[in-house]
């Protein structure tokens, strides 16, 4: 269970939640905050750091139910354990959480292809809105399940191999901001991806390799940034 998973590593509550514990409460009902409407409570939980929000499950069954349905901001750098354990923690959270996922940031973890494919399939069903992938070492191959995340709005992909997205294969009707940095994509993949973004307003391309041309046809685009490096092109190959 995700609650015990977090509590087994850090049992102290953060200061805002410590006042809710029975040992420090006075009066008939120590859980005064719990009387607020659930819509307000889930908003509060969604603003807390991931670890702090997850620890509220120890307060009561009511708080556990609230956490499991709270809009999720899943940022791997917020996880309170060394990065080798991040994949297990992320899988555990996604398996138990029932609410939509607002954002998913992957900057420290190096998941297996099977784990990443499974996460993106789950996130697509949970209407993922914001995706950030920022790999610090070797480029990360992104699976085709990325193309099923149709509810994305901003996406920032760094040091990744994009999945093949031929014309008609990609459909991101709400994507308004796309950043590709040190990314690998063929011309077919790149233009197939752009063709599936009818609401795109901002496009930032910082060293996109293996793509020999750039053709952008958009009535919504307001900002375009392209950065290249001749030295990097000689070392890696064709670059946009």
Mind listing the pLDDT tens digit for each residue in 117-152? Answer: 999 999 999 999 999 999 888 999 999 999 999 999
Query: Which residue among 11, 42, 70 closes a domain?
Result: 70
Contact 104, 76 (CB under 8 A): no
Q: Which pTM was predicted? A: 0.76
Looking at the fold, whether 56 and 87 belong to one and the same domain comes out as: no
CA–CA gap between residue 213 and residue 101 (Å, rounded): 35
Nearest to 152 by CA among 181, 173, 167: 173
Looking at the fold, whether 157 and 221 belong to one and the same domain comes out as: yes
Query: Which residue among 39, 70, 101 closes a domain?
Result: 70
Looking at the fold, whether 113 and 203 belong to one and the same domain comes out as: yes
Looking at the fold, whether 15 and 95 belong to one and the same domain comes out as: no
Tell the residue number behind the tokens 């297990």, with chain if given. Answer: 88
Bridge partners (DSSP) of residue 124 are: none
Query: Which residue among 22, 37, 70 closes a domain?
Result: 70
Looking at the fold, whether 55 and 92 belong to one and the same domain comes out as: no
Count of domains observed in the chain: 2
Looking at the fold, whether 222 and 143 belong to one and the same domain comes out as: yes
Domain hosting residue 78, numbered range: 71-240
Looking at the fold, whether 97 and 170 belong to one and the same domain comes out as: yes
Distance from the Cα of residue 228 to its chain's centroid: 27
CA–CA gap between residue 42 and residue 51 (Å, rounded): 15
- The band of 20, judged by pLDDT with boundaries at 50, 70 and 90, is very low
Average pLDDT of 206-228? 89
């Amino acid at each position: 269970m995700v609650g015990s998973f977090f509590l087994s590593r850090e049992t102290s509550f953060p200061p805002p939640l410590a006042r809710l514990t029975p040992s420090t409460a006075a009066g008939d009902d120590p859980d005064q905050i719990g009387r607020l409407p659930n819509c307000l409570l889930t908003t509060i939980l969604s603003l807390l750091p991931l670890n702090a929000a997850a620890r509220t499950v120890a307060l009561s069954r009511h708080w556990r139910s609230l956490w499991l349905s709270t809009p999720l901001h899943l940022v791997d750098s917020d996880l309170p354990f060394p990065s080798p354990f991040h994949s297990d923690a992320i899988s555990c959270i996604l398996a138990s959480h029932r609410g939509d996922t607002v954002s998913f940031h992957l900057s420290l973890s190096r998941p297996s292809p099977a784990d990443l494919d499974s996460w993106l399939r789950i996130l697509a069903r949970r209407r993922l809105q914001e995706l950030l992938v920022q790999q610090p070492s070797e480029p990360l191959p992104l699976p085709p399940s990325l193309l099923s995340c149709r509810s994305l709005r901003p996406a920032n992909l760094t040091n990744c191999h994009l999945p093949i997205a031929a014309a008609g294969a990609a459909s991101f009707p709400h994507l308004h901001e796309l950043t590709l940095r040190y990314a690998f994509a063929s011309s077919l993949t790149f233009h197939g991806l752009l063709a599936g973004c009818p609401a795109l307003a901002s496009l930032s391309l910082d060293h996109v390799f293996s793509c020999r041309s750039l053709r952008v046809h958009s009535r919504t685009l307001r900002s375009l940034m392209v950065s290249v490096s001749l030295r990097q092109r000689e070392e890696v190959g064709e670059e946009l």
